[in-house]
Structure 1
C-alpha cells in the first residue's frame, strides 16, 4: 500500500527503464506489503509504454520522469532529495518482494542501531538464492553472498537509513549502473556504520531484465565502476595495485594471443573494451581523487580497517 500518513517510515524508490514486461509484478508486490510506505517511481525516459502502466496502476505511485536514461545510480541520486522519510528502499523494477519484505527490513534496522542498511534475500523465480548481500573479493570485486555475514547490500532490493546515506555522500550518480551499492556500503562503513543481512525478507528477482549480464556494456560498467570505487574508497595500496593489475592484463592479452595461448572469451577480456575502461577511469581520475579526499574527511574508520572487514574474500 502507498500512504502519506504519519506511520509511513519508508519511501520505496523503484527505478524503471523500459520495464513494461515486468513492472506490474513489482507494483502489485508493493501494493501487498504489510507495512505502509510511500512509493516513488523514477522512470528513466522509458519509451515502451511504461508511463501508461504507471498511470493506470491502482497503487497510484508518484512518478518522477527523467529527461534521459541516467541509469540506476543516476535515478537513485535524483530521487534522494525527494525522500523525507526515515528510511529509503532501493528496488529494481524486475523485483517482486514478499508481503513482509519491508516489515522485516524495517524491524532489522530497528533492532540494530549500528546498521545503516539491510539486505534481503534475492532469489530466482525458481527459488534459488541469488544474494543475501555483498562481500569483497581479494581484488576488490563486490561478490554476491549466499550466506553468512556481509560487507555490503545488494542494491536491487535494500533498505537504508536516509540520514546515514545522505551523510555518507548520497548515491554516486556518475556510476550509471553497477557498484553504486558496494561504493555506498564502503562509505557507510567508513562512517562507522554496519550492514546487516536479512535472509527472511525474500524478493523474487528476474535479474538482468534491463541490462544483460555478460554483455559488453555490463562488463564496461562493471570493470570501470569497480576501479572507480577502489580509487574513491579503498586503501591507496589496493587501488594502485588493482589499477596496475588491470593495465598489465590488458597489455598482456595481445601477447598471449600472438603466442597462441588461451584467452577467456568473456567480453571483459577484449582489449578494446579494457582500453576504453582505462581511458574512462583516467579521464575521471581528478574527480575520483577529489571524491576520495571528501570521503576521507567524513570517515571515522580507516580504509585499512574497512578493507579487512570485507574479507576473507569469497569468489563469485
Structure 2
C-alpha cells in the first residue's frame, strides 16, 4: 500500500498546453508521494485534453474564468487536505528530489512556515533563490547563493497548509505577482520563519504564461506592490511609497526624458492609482485583520528586512 501523501502540489495553468506536460512529467518523477491538483483558469487551447490524457492523472479544478495565479492558488487551497501545500508554476519542471528536499527541510524545523528553492532559467543560471525586501518595499528575486531571504518566489515553494490559512490564505484579488511577497510578509508578522533550500532545484521557463515587461505585467506589479505595502508595512512606509508613486505620476507628462518602460506611462500609472483607491476600503480591513493576527510589530519586521 503506497504511503499517504504529505503534500498537495498546486499547479495553476492558463492556456498551458505548450509547457504543462513537461511540468507534469517532472512531478511524476518525484521521489515522494504527493497529490497533484491542477487549477485550470478556463483554458481554451487544449489544456483540458492534455490533463485528461496525462499518465500522472492529476486532479483538476476548472474555474469558470481566468482568476490569475493568485486566484488559482486561492481556489485550489480550499481543496487541500494535506499538511503541506506546494505552489508550482505550470512552466516549471522540478528535479526528482525537489519535493523530498523541501519536505525534509520544512518538517525538520517546526518554526518554518515555508521553504523556497532554487529556480533556474533554461541555461542553468539562477532566476531566484528567495526574495529580498528592498528599501522602498519592492519584493526582488535574490540570485546569489547563501544568506537569508525575506520571502520566497511563488513559482516553486512548499508551505505548511495550516500556517498559510491562519495567516489569511492568498490574496486572490492580486490576480498575479506579489501574492508571494504579501504571503511571506504576513507569515513573518505572525512569527514564522521562511527558508530556502538551494539544493532543491526547479527549471523555469520564465514568462511562458505571462509577458514580463508588458503593460499588464507592470500594472499588476505596481498595483500589487502598493497593496502589499498598505496591507503589511508600517503606515509611514506605505503612505510614503503611495505618495511618491502619485507624485511621480503627476510630473511624468512634464518630463521629456521619461523612460520608455510601460510602468512610466502616465495612463498606466493612473489606472494603478484608480485600482488601489477602489480597493482601499477592503485593503484597510485586511490590514486590520493582519495586525490582529500578528505577533511581531510591523516596524520590527521592516527594520530587520528592508534593504538587506
TM category (shorter chain) comes to over 0.9
- Which of 37, 40, 44 is the equivalent residue of 1:40? 37
Conservation of the 8 A alpha-carbon contact between 1:104 and 1:198: yes
Contact in 2 for aligned 1:151/1:309 (Cα 8 Å)? no
Counterparts of 1:246 and 1:6 in 2: how far apart (Å)?
Answer: 52
**Whole-Å separation in 1 of the counterparts to 2:60 and 2:252:** 46
Whole-Å separation in 1 of the counterparts to 2:200 and 2:306: 24
1:69 aligns with 2:66: yes
Offset at residue 7 of structure 1 (A): 2.9
Match of 2:237 in 1: 238
Provide the rounded CA distance (Å) in 1 between the counterparts of 2:222 and 2:186.
19
Alignment partners' CA distance in 2, 1:135 and 1:307: 12
Partner residue, 1:253: 252
Compute the displacement of 1:307 (Å): 1.1
Deviation, 1:310, is 2.0
TM-score, normalization: structure 1?
0.95
Give 3-state SS (helix, strand or coil) of 1:78's partner: helix
The 8 Å contact of residues 115 and 194 in structure 1, kept in 2 or not, is answered as yes
CA distance in 2, matches of 1:22, 1:310: 35
Instruction: Give yes or no for the alignment of 1:221 onto 2:216.
Output: no
- Secondary structure of 1:48's match? coil
Report the equivalent of 2:184. Answer: 185
**What SS does the corresponding residue of 2:279 show, helix, strand or coil?**
helix
Structure 1 stretches of at least 4 aligned residues deviating more than 6 Å after TM superposition: none
Q: Take 2:104 and 2:122, find their aligned partners in 1: how far apart are those partners?
A: 25
| Equivalent residue number for residue 163 of structure 1 | 162
3-state SS, counterpart of residue 82 of structure 1: coil
**Shift in Å, 1:311:** 2.9
Per-residue CA shift, 1:216-260, capped at 9, x if unaligned? 000000000000000000000000000000001111111212xxx
1:6 Cα deviation (Å)?
4.9
Give distance in 1, aligned partners of 2:34 and 2:92: 17
* Matched length: 306
Q: Which residue of 2 aligns with 1:196?
A: 195
- 1:51 equivalent to 2:48? Answer yes
Deviation at 1:309, TM superposition (A): 2.8
Give 1:116 shift: 0.3
Contact 2:4 2:33 in 1 (8 A): yes
Is 1:133 the counterpart of 2:130 in the alignment? yes
Structure 1: how far apart are the matches of 2:203 and 2:188?
28
Alignment of 1:266 with 2:265, yes or no, is no
Q: RMSD of aligned C-alpha atoms?
A: 1.0
Query: Within 5 Å, which residues of 2 pair with 1:55-134?
Result: 55-134=52-131
Alignment partners' CA distance in 1, 2:211 and 2:255:
28
2-side partners of 1:6 and 1:190: how far apart? 35
The gaps in structure 1 that reach 5 residues or longer are none
The separation in 2 between residues aligned to 1:71 and 1:211, in whole angstroms, is: 10
* Paired position in structure 1 for 2:293: 298
* Contact 2:137–2:306 (CA under 8 A) maintained in structure 1: no
Measured in 2, the distance between the counterparts of 1:23 and 1:183 equals 26
SS in 2 for 1:13: strand
Give the Cα separation in 1 of the matches to 2:307 and 2:65. 40
Deviation at 1:111, TM superposition (A): 1.9
Which shows bigger deviation, 225-234 or 103-112?
Answer: 103-112
Residues 3 and 33, structure 2, Cα contact 8 Å, conserved in 1: no
Query: Which of 11, 14, 18 pairs up with 1:14?
Result: 11
Deviation at 1:308, TM superposition (A): 2.0
